[in-house]
Structure 1
Amino acid sequence: MSRSGDRWSSAYTAREYEGLKQTLDGEYVGVGLSVQRERDTKGSSVAVARVLPGSPADRADIRRGDRLVAIDGEDVGDRPVTDVVARLRGSAGQGRSAKPAAPGSSVELELDRDGRHRTETLKRDRLTADAVTVGPTDGGATRIKVSSFTKGSARQIHRAVAERVPDGGGILLDLRGNSGGLVSEAVEAASAFLDGGLVATYEENGTQRALYADGNTSSHGHAVQVSTGGASAHPLVVLVDGGTMSAAELLTGALQDRGRAVVVGSRTFGKGSVQMPRKLSDGSVAELTVGHYATPSGRTLDGEGITPDLSVDASGDAPERARTVLSGLQTRP
């Protein structure tokens, strides 16, 4: 796949792909850790990026920034992050026999915090990915933070708009660091803000397709189940950055092109391609690019990204600027 020139192609063992599917389903068995690879003067290591509140890892006082040295006695310093995640979740076996671990199974973690080593034995639990969080902003608007588009995230967004946003109240849709996820969820989320209409077009193996917020997919044969009549009366600002990718860019582009939202922040990542999984004979999975998305106005996203209406560089306070813009929208006659 490296030789194919397809920069978004991916290869997964059966164990790794099972973990990916669980994440996209919004529920998984694990300890509540998100990890990332970090590099410093001492080299490369695997660090804790996030701890899910109330999870086994949280109860064991594991914190963001802790270094993960080993899992069940095996060093993970040089292992791919996908393999580290699979080990945390306990997907056992290889090939067709790969199965996720059961809730209550144990995993031993060796950790380092500021040079102090310790070992923790945790019991895995069934956890729900906390993809959508809702709360008030300082200016009285409602902030809806979406970290990824997993199964059920669009329903959470619809519920937040219906139940947490007062009549005429402003919405700050925070898509910073959102690496994408399920396109169907992003399209369904669009209907929370749009009263139907086009969300995106894309080409799949030479055939043009279209995605609509009203639940229809032109020439595709599959309906995206959404509720129409989005909250178009609410002033809307979308907050983005260089970590806003894929399905999150698709949603941002639709809201910007349709004149529904003011986009604030820095240029988005620029991943506008469609990948489809293909299962191989040994149970592993290859994901290959089959097409590219375009916004309602025809803008391509891949390699281009989305330029905000109000650009704020890394040294600026993008959330504060977004709140100022939203305050101005709320006070319009």
Structure 2
Amino acid sequence: MAKRGLILSTTAALASAVAVVGFQLATPSIAAFRNSPKEVVDEVWQIINRDYVDGTFNQVDWQQTRNEYLNREYASKNEAYLAVREMLETLDDPYTRFMDPDQFKSMQIDTSGELTGVGIQLGLDEETERLTIIAPIDGSPAAKEGLIAKDMIVTIEGKNTEGMDLNEAVNLIRGPIGTKITLGIQRGSRVFDVELKRAKIELHPVTTDVRQTNQIGKVGYIRLTQFNANATSDMRKAILELEDEDVNGFILDLRSNPGGLLYSSAEIARMWIDNATIVSTVDREGENERLSANRQSLTKKPLVVLVDGGSASASEILSGALQDNGRAIIVGTKTFGKGLVQSVHTLGDGSGLAVTIAKYYTPKGTDINHEGIVPDVVIELTDSDKERLIEDRDKIGTIEDPQYAKALEILTQQVINPQTPSVSFN
């Protein structure tokens, strides 16, 4: 059986964490070429033919496309994979994408909310183009062994990482629980080896803090970095704990959150909204489905939400629902603008396909894919602001972060005078 689910994200996979899917059973496509490289080509064609959001297939003769690609000969699966990607390019949709088995496995691991590895978030340093630790995950083997942000990984099991891309590094570092791996680390001028034992690591996308202010007392700060399988329970716990701390208002930080699970964004919206539409989706048949809140909100206290150009998909559903229903004031810069829903399928050979099946709209009908979410209060970061926050990430979400500072100013006014309309801020 093929598996499918819904994904709302700008990316299929990140080096450290991903945004993806809940699975349900679906009818498999009929493969006409058993045990042949052509099988995956036909399987992808069948799914697109059945589910793709645009019934014109970007004005492409989709039946003729099938004939063209199945009349070719493929000497290997890799040749077939290249053909699939070429076929999908005709749709001109960057979110309908094919993943080979390794890429698809990585995607599934990350979006499940847990992985097996050493617990480091990886990136490529812009200047050196070397693998660099963005941050160790709390409680992970990497954190316990003292690895820190900006450590460079120069070797993995003795293999030089110069020129290595993130996917290759991630595949080398991950492995079965209990197995060991040696990383060569450069910290400043010092180079040393660290042996780490792989473990199961849960990815918790929510961090919280209680901020004491002079004017309104305690403020609850919540940062949500992705909508993975742990996001809903983590957010519920965060709100309830901050309510127990008797905070007077909340700042929810969705900046650089690329999205994730549709059900997660809806469930989190229900924690803030009592009874209203959250989002509506429209498929190629024009069928409209609405997700609504159901009187289960956890707090009615004032809320300000931070967004930026990296806030996408599920982040836009949540911020759009809060904005359109008058539940929160949105601060920052215009969001990414990704209003498409993907269904994710497991193919017969272990590869995967994400296919766009619907568009989604905010409660007031905003087409996020074209317009994004425009904040109530626009605050741009200067280049120097960005450089300063990148150099010291601990300043993000503090008074030294101009967008956070504006959010706190607005929240303060909302707490002092709950009747103050959001349009009065500038």
Q: What TM bracket, shorter-length normalisation?
A: 0.7 to 0.9
- Which digits, 9 at most, give the CA deviation of each residue in 1:64-104, with x for residues without a partner? 222223322334444442332232222xxxxxxxxxx2x21
**1:60 CA drift (Å):** 2.2
Matches of 2:164 and 2:97 in 1, distance apart? 16
Residue number in structure 2 paired with 1:180: 259
Q: 1:76 to 1:184 in 2, by over 3 A?
A: farther
Residue number in structure 1 paired with 2:94: 7
Matches of 2:274 and 2:232 in 1, distance apart? 15
Matches of 1:303 and 1:81 in 2, distance apart? 30
Q: 1:75 to 1:8 in 2, by over 3 A?
A: farther
Partner secondary structure for residue 239 of structure 1: strand
User: Comparing 25-34 with 66-75, which one deviates more in the overlay?
Assistant: 66-75
Residue number in structure 1 paired with 2:339: 272
Residue number in structure 2 paired with 1:219: none
Q: 1:208 to 1:37 in 2, by over 3 A?
A: farther
1:53 to 117, 120, 138: 138
Q: 1:298 to 1:33 in 2, by over 3 A?
A: same
Matches of 1:308 and 1:281 in 2, distance apart? 44
- Which digits, 9 at most, give the CA deviation of each residue in 1:34-79, with x for residues without a partner? 1123332x5x332212211221111222222222233223344444
- Which digits, 9 at most, give the CA deviation of each residue in 1:109-155, with x for residues without a partner? 22333354332221011111121112112432111111111113112
Matches of 2:100 and 2:131 in 1, distance apart? 20
Q: 1:49 to 1:327 in 2, by over 3 A?
A: same
Q: Does 1:105 align with 2:179?
A: yes
For the 8 Å contact 1:131–1:148, the answer to whether it is kept is: yes
Residue number in structure 1 paired with 2:126: 39
Matches of 2:233 and 2:195 in 1, distance apart? 35
Partner secondary structure for residue 186 of structure 1: helix
Matches of 1:75 and 1:303 in 2, distance apart? 43
Matches of 2:164 and 2:355 in 1, distance apart? 23
Matches of 1:84 and 1:160 in 2, distance apart? 33
Residue number in structure 2 paired with 1:162: 240
For the 8 Å contact 2:279–2:292, the answer to whether it is kept is: no
Residue number in structure 2 paired with 1:332: 417
User: Comparing 129-138 with 2-11, which one deviates more in the overlay?
Assistant: 2-11
Residue number in structure 2 paired with 1:18: 105
Normalising by structure 1, report the TM-score: 0.85
Aligned residues: 308
1:152 to 217, 220, 230: 230
For the 8 Å contact 2:251–2:303, the answer to whether it is kept is: yes
User: Comparing 292-301 with 150-159, which one deviates more in the overlay?
Assistant: 150-159
Matches of 1:61 and 1:159 in 2, distance apart? 28
1:252 to 309, 319, 342: 319
Q: 1:178 to 1:205 in 2, by over 3 A?
A: same
Matches of 2:260 and 2:201 in 1, distance apart? 18
For the 8 Å contact 1:168–1:233, the answer to whether it is kept is: no
**1:235 CA drift (Å):** 0.4
Partner secondary structure for residue 136 of structure 1: strand
Q: 1:73 to 1:304 in 2, by over 3 A?
A: farther
For the 8 Å contact 2:342–2:356, the answer to whether it is kept is: yes
* Mapping 1:57-206, distance limit 5 Å: 57-90=142-175, 101=176, 103-139=177-213, 140-165=218-243, 169-206=248-285
**1:291 CA drift (Å):** 2.3
Q: 1:37 to 1:302 in 2, by over 3 A?
A: farther
Normalising by structure 2, report the TM-score: 0.67
Higher helix share: 2
* Mapping 1:275-314, distance limit 5 Å: 275-314=342-381
Matches of 1:17 and 1:193 in 2, distance apart? 33
- Which digits, 9 at most, give the CA deviation of each residue in 1:293-327, with x for residues without a partner? 21111111225321111111113601111011011
Segments of structure 1 that go 5 or more residues without pairing to the other structure are 91-100, 216-227
Matches of 2:300 and 2:403 in 1, distance apart? 24
Matches of 1:64 and 1:195 in 2, distance apart? 40
Q: 1:329 to 1:248 in 2, by over 3 A?
A: same
Matches of 1:206 and 1:85 in 2, distance apart? 40
For the 8 Å contact 1:188–1:213, the answer to whether it is kept is: no
Q: 1:85 to 1:205 in 2, by over 3 A?
A: farther
Partner secondary structure for residue 69 of structure 1: strand
Matches of 1:128 and 1:33 in 2, distance apart? 12
